[in-house]
Structure 1
């Protein structure tokens, strides 16, 4: 009997949610995704010191700012990941630009140009943007330019529908963080079938398939193997090495839970979202509002920590 990981790969594109290249090689994921938190963890690992060293040397030789060297570090990790996976690598726009349309677009263009200088074309890259109203508008501009976007920090159908209306390539609903909020707010224990994060992704998936929306749904931020199994059949799932290990070591039967045919059987009403409607509907969803804000703060904090790490290394190299 093949492992549950192998069974999952037969129905869902598996993406490695890590900056650890050894783990990505081991699990043979199709795509890889990073964020400031994952890059910070990887940059602190001695095994990847050479990637940080290159960015420091590059920056010192050109008298670049710490922020520019941090950008180079993210590109270096992305470039190395692209050597391992056959598909796409997601690279995130700075979290402190989450409410800045023009700034986000400019940074995304800079990321694409940086990869192209390294010899990696835009067809191998996804630009990650927070699914704020401004982030979605930035993605709409970038998609028209042929720059595919991965909308992150998605916690609601409202955000997902707005991303779809903007023509974004992919979005990442955060399963585990939704579960975290409800577990704390309601003090309940959930099964995979009652898990609010699982239900949110199923709602988004069914909405997209029923309305023939091409945007890829990629479940993310898992807390346990059961959440992943409950979303078997989703377009893509980005999974941590620990949970990939658990799936690889489980030879039980994995049943498909999501498929386009059943999703299209009972189409929900299509949402019509202008800015006012989007902001009000998001505001009415306390969980989505709080987790989106928290997620941006966490990524901004880790980006700041990454810049501090680069600044410290610059001083040591002086």
Structure 2
């Protein structure tokens, strides 16, 4: 460990466009001078967590954990080196379905697990596997699909303790996470989170981790208002700060992982958050900076804040009404679900063609 005292941990995310891979590095940077920060990153006192479907390049960065989504799996599946995984999935599907649609669904589930299995041969920690986006508004369907994914992992020798089930932060998705965490001991990653309403319900559900999106929130406000925002007034930064303070004020254990940054300023404004994810160009800018990164978010300080406690987990009407009052959150959630669903359908088309061949 560096000789400098590290008081907070945050995640840096490296996007490797050439292979369609995003990498997270868990780095202690709060209150570290710029020159020490660069040394700290170079010395390897970091835990790298990969967000990837391309496991062939994961070992290069020695990641601790990994997460995938349909878009990443789709991109990776087009590479010839992954043909064997598709073949395994297709053969599995052929013998696990009464009709073509069931065979395709079975193949997709097995393909996700095959990718996860290969990744877990490289990383020592966990892999995050996403439930099909078509179940985003189906609690029972999400739970059943998650349990099936866990059973598939078990069948290839992977314990559930090494798997996070990734679910969209809809009302139904949050309720599914609640059931999985409480009744089955399965950890969840609630993604596509854009509002405090979602975050409060996710924490009440006992979700292992949430991913509030900073840059996508900023993008929406800039497009709607035509305004430029300083880092201090950035609405995405403000959203994550508000969620972080709420969690720490009321003692929630759910991990806050800020994601989707557009500038170094957004990153430095959230120094001290549980985790942050940083793109390669921004990581490079951060490493090249000589400025200190003071801690901006403080768990102990949040305890003294005057924050009203709310509850949504058992009140669907309040959740839906309050979330509906946020047009940004509604639009961005819909957009994200649609993208993941479309990529999953494209992947299914590939599997269907191979099953029928």
TM-score scaled by structure 2? 0.80
Q: Which of the pair has more CA radius of gyration?
A: 2
Residues 251-270 of structure 1 correspond to what in structure 2 (within 5 A)? 252=290, 253-270=292-309
Residues 225 and 243 in structure 1, CA contact (< 8 A), matched pair in contact too: no
Residues 7 and 254 in structure 1, CA contact (< 8 A), matched pair in contact too: no
SS of residue paired to 1:268: coil
Match status 1:278 vs 2:316: no
Tell me what 1:86 maps to: 124
SS of residue paired to 2:227: coil
Cα 1:309–1:193 change in 2 (3 A) is farther
Residues 32 and 81 in structure 1, CA contact (< 8 A), matched pair in contact too: yes
Tell me what 1:158 maps to: 197
Partners of 1:61 and 1:5 lie apart in 2 by 54
SS of residue paired to 1:142: helix
Match status 1:46 vs 2:80: yes
Residues 21-170 of structure 1 correspond to what in structure 2 (within 5 A)? 21-60=55-94, 65-144=103-182, 145-170=184-209
Tell me what 2:288 maps to: 250
Partners of 2:179 and 2:130 lie apart in 1 by 16
Structure 2, gaps ≥5 residues long: 1-34
Residues 208-247 of structure 1 correspond to what in structure 2 (within 5 A)? 208-239=247-278, 242-243=280-281, 246=284
Tell me what 2:225 maps to: 186
Partners of 1:142 and 1:136 lie apart in 2 by 10
C-alpha displacement of 1:225: 4.3
Structure 1, gaps ≥5 residues long: none
Tell me what 1:294 maps to: 335
Q: Which moved more, 1:101-110 or 1:4-13?
A: 4-13
Cα 1:18–1:135 change in 2 (3 A) is same
User: RCO greater where, 1 or 2, for CA within 8 Å and sep 6 or more?
Assistant: 1
Cα 1:25–1:122 change in 2 (3 A) is same
Partners of 1:283 and 1:124 lie apart in 2 by 35
TM-score scaled by structure 1? 0.89
C-alpha displacement of 1:184: 1.0
Residues 65 and 124 in structure 2, CA contact (< 8 A), matched pair in contact too: yes
Q: 1:206 aligns with which of 245, 252, 264?
A: 245
C-alpha displacement of 1:12: 9.3
RMSD: 2.7
SS of residue paired to 1:300: helix
Aligned residues: 315
Cα 1:279–1:45 change in 2 (3 A) is same
Residues 217 and 235 in structure 2, CA contact (< 8 A), matched pair in contact too: yes
SS of residue paired to 1:233: coil
